[in-house]
């Protein structure tokens, strides 16, 4: 069975080692091309030329520019979620897991600075892809939040609401320092961020839910 047939069948059969290496090379190059030129200005020729791969070979793995873009967004999402999952596996509690997870994400973004540009392009290229990207991230957060609530480590807020709040914090703190400034998130910023998450803005006042329960 040829590699082209494998791709046409949705990659249900495993690629050869050489085929997997070539496909990954195309994805790595596409990350740079889409990040620099943008989806609409980039072309398959840009990707193949920079990857030093024949244009015909490209179509053994991807049917179009859109398909490689979608594959790239999915891979970026999967790769950093797997990295975070691996790093937080031995965390002793929810707060430690968040600290490790945020640090891991910021470092990952530093190594993949085009992530922000590519994901934001997705909202114009394929809105459903854009939505699924964030829903996959949220699903992992929600599971951890539900476990922390069950163990009474955190308050019993709606897990999905908390998940998207945490995602928003990581998104914009990373954008402000890692993407715009191309530097590590400063310790003072990281510590303020974590204190905000786990202590909030109020100065010792009960939150609304506690007041209702009194």
Nearest to 99 by CA among 114, 84, 111, 121: 84
pLDDT tens, position by position, 67-95 = 999 999 999 999 999 999 999 999 999 99
- Length of the chain in terms of residues written: 214
Q: Do 1-63 and 65-213 show the same overall fold?
A: no
Mean confidence (pLDDT) of the chain: 90
Mean pLDDT to the nearest integer, 10-20: 72
| Three-state DSSP state, 206 | coil
Mean pLDDT to the nearest integer, 7-34: 81
Architecture in CATH of 1-63? Orthogonal Bundle (1.10)
Mean pLDDT to the nearest integer, 134-142: 95
Q: What is the pLDDT of residue 70?
A: 97
For 124, the token pair is 């114009």
Say which residue, 203 or 132, is predicted with more confidence.
132
Segments of 19-164 assigned E as strands: none
Q: What is the pLDDT of residue 15?
A: 80
65-213 to CATH, choices 2.70.50.60, 3.40.50.11890, 1.10.357.10, 1.10.238.10: 1.10.357.10
Q: How confident is the model at residue 202 (pLDDT cuts 50, 70, 90)?
A: confident
Residues 38, 95: contact at Cβ < 8 Å? no
Mean pLDDT to the nearest integer, 126-150: 96
User: C-alpha 42: how far from its chain's center?
Assistant: 22
Mean pLDDT to the nearest integer, 40-48: 97
In order of 7, 86, 124, the CA distances from 140 in angstroms are 29, 13, 25
Quick check: 213 pLDDT over 80?
no
pTM over 0.95: no
Q: What is the pLDDT of residue 11?
A: 45
Q: What is the pLDDT of residue 115?
A: 94
Domain locations along the chain: 1-63, 65-213
Q: What is the pLDDT of residue 204?
A: 65
For 168, the token pair is 């928003």
Q: What percent of the chain has pLDDT over 70?
A: 88
Residues 14, 98: contact at Cβ < 8 Å? no
H or E stretch at 52:
none
CA-based torsion, 198, 137, 20, 115: positive or negative? negative
How far apart, in Å, do the first and last CA atoms of the chain sit? 69
The two most distant CA atoms of the chain are separated, in Å, by 70
Q: What is the pLDDT of residue 205?
A: 56
Q: What is the pLDDT of residue 181?
A: 94
How far apart, in whole angstroms, are the C-alpha atoms of residue 1 and residue 3? 7
Cα angle 15, 52, 115 (rounded to 5 degrees) comes to: 75
Q: What percent of the chain has pLDDT over 90?
A: 86
CA atoms within 13 A on the CB side of 121: 21
């Amino acid at each position: 069975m040829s590699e082209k047939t494998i791709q046409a069948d949705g990659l249900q059969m495993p690629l050869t080692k050489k085929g997997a290496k070539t496909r990954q090379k195309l994805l790595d190059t596409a990350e740079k091309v889409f990040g620099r030129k943008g989806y609409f200005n980039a072309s398959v020729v840009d990707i193949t030329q920079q990857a030093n791969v024949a244009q015909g070979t490209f179509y053994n793995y991807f049917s179009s520019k859109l398909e490689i873009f979608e594959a790239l967004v999915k891979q970026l999402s999967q790769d950093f979620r797997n990295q975070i999952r691996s790093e937080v596996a031995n965390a002793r509690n929810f707060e430690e897991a968040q600290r490790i997870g945020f640090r891991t994400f910021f470092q990952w973004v530093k190594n993949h600075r085009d992530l922000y540009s590519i994901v934001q392009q997705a909202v114009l290229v394929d809105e459903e892809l854009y939505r699924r990207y964030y829903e996959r991230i949220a699903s992992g957060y929600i599971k951890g939040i539900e476990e922390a609530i069950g163990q009474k480590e955190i308050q019993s807020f709606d897990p999905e609401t908390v998940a998207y709040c945490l995602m928003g914090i990581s998104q914009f703190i990373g954008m402000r320092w890692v993407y715009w400034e191309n530097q590590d998130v400063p310790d003072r910023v990281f510590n303020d961020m974590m204190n905000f998450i786990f202590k909030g803005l109020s100065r010792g006042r009960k939150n609304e839910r506690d007041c209702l329960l009194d």
